[in-house]
Amino acid sequence: VGADGTRVFDLTAQPGASDLGHGANTRTWGYNGSYLGPTLRAARGERVAVNVHNRLNEPTTVHWHGMHLPAKVDGGPHHPIPPGSDYQAAWTVDQPAATLWYHPHPSDRTERQVYRGLAGLFILDDDQQPAGLPHEYGVDDVPVVVQDKGFDGDQLSMSDRFGSDVGILGDELLVNGTPGPFLDVRTTLVRLRLLNASTARVYDFTMSDGRPLTMIGTDGGLLAAPYSTDHVRLSVGERAEVVVAMRPGERVELRSRATGLGRFHGGRDSFDVLQLRAAGDLKAGTLPEKLADIQRLDPKQAAQRRTFTFQGRDINDDGMDMDRVDAVVVKDTTEVWNVANGHGTPHSFHIHDVQFQVLSVDGAAPPPELGGWKDTLFLEPGRRYSVIAAFADYADPTTAYMFHCHVLRHEDEGMMGQFVVV
């Protein structure tokens, strides 16, 4: 924390070597290390400044995924950081506690940079943390960054070995950069902050013995109340916070079961993710019944309705054009965006700057797991979604935010649009 109270972080994007299960010499990239980056953490109301140093041999950017901030420091493709140079982003955190993340967002290179290891969590806190929720980082509140990887010998395979339409897919799984991971559990309640930081793959998390996952949060913060389910599906870029109940001495596996997307994914479609190993003596806990107040946005108040159809590599039949603004949004208004997946390939819809609420899926009320704040939404083939967002606080007619498909190959190939808030 600096003299003026600003919370200052340093992130150096750099090449290195890691052991991802194929020897110690796998060439990878990381922030401040050889793979992934540190978990950044700040509280609502705090001023943060991140100094980014690019020690790669190509341009990069760092985008703060899920963060409500001015377009100028959003880290999109408009502001590349050249090799060898430095950049600072600073803003004031003003949104509920949530599990956000950061990753590169340069033109044409996002898939490869994330795949090599550039990504990290950005956890936000606020003073509304309900009593009883596990919150000791690394003990009963644990980051679970899930990524698939393929290898050629001892090096990462950068090609799409399955001939899929979604880019690089791997047949091995890492959690926080670790193959075959396990977690020593010391409490009856374990909170897992799940992030799908893969470039293309969709996961459908479930427990090996069928016990429930209690979902407590989505991309943008806590749900109104805990929701018990037998599976949690996350497309690229989505997060979920879940709580698993454990008994002394037991072992159980978090898995990702078949998604049914095999024909789009190719190769394997189910994985062991993380083994939970409970100690003989566990500290007991009870989940609160209520988690957060979520103010519902009212579609009747929407100032604008827009439709975006995702198909092929286009949104509304157009690819990304840095000189074209696709939507001009008036500050402090709400908008309803109708988003459809034309057909075929799965997509993942993401809007910068805002958290949205899902109003409907194919015209029907959304399921409970879509009942909280979202910034990224799985677009199942052929389905239509309606979302609502409030665009508050920051106007900048000359700097655009992005919305795009978060399948990173699709994003690199131009499945992106721009909006400005005026």
> Shortest approach of ligand C2O to residue 235 CB, angstroms?
12
Q: What DSSP state is assigned to residue 73?
A: G
Structure tokens at 71: 């377009």
C-alpha 192/C-alpha 391 separation (Å) is 30
The stretch among 207-215, 277-285, 298-306, 399-407 that binds ligand C2O (CB under 6 A) is 399-407
Number of H helices, E strands in the chain: 3, 32
Question: What order of strands is seen across the sheet that includes strand 356-361?
Answer: 314-315, 304-311, 333-341, 384-391, 356-361
Chain positions 225 to 264 lying near ligand C2O, rule: CB under 6 A, are 237
The nearer residue to ligand C2O, 201 or 406, going by C-beta atoms, is 406
The stretch among 145-153, 210-218, 284-292, 351-359 that binds Cu ion (CB under 5 A) is 351-359
Enclosing H/E stretch for 282: strand 271-283
Q: Which residues pair with 364 in a beta bridge?
A: 361
> Shortest approach of Cu ion to residue 183 CB, angstroms?
28
Query: Binding partner of residue 374 among Cu ion, ligand C2O, none, CB under 5 to 8 Å per kind?
Result: none
Q: What DSSP state is assigned to residue 57?
A: S
The stretch among 88-96, 227-235, 335-343, 402-410 that binds ligand C2O (CB under 6 A) is 402-410
Site string for Cu ion, 277-316 (x = CB under 5 A): ----------------------------------------
Strands 327-329 vs 416-421: parallel, antiparallel or unpaired: parallel
Enclosing H/E stretch for 412: helix 408-412
Structure tokens at 342: 């034309």
Site string for ligand C2O, 336-355 (x = CB under 6 A): --------------x-x---
What are the start-end ranges of the E strands in 93-211? Answer: 98-103, 120-125, 141-149, 151-152, 155-156, 172-175, 178-179, 182-187, 189-196, 203-207
Q: What DSSP state is assigned to residue 410?
A: H
Query: Binding partner of residue 407 among ligand C2O, Cu ion, none, CB under 5 to 8 Å per kind?
Result: Cu ion
Rule CB under 5 A: say whether 404 interacts with Cu ion.
no
The stretch among 114-122, 200-208, 273-281, 339-347 that binds Cu ion (CB under 5 A) is 339-347
Residues that bind Cu ion (CB under 5 A): 65, 347, 352, 405, 407, 410
Residues that bind ligand C2O (CB under 6 A): 63, 65, 103, 105, 237, 350, 352, 402, 404, 406
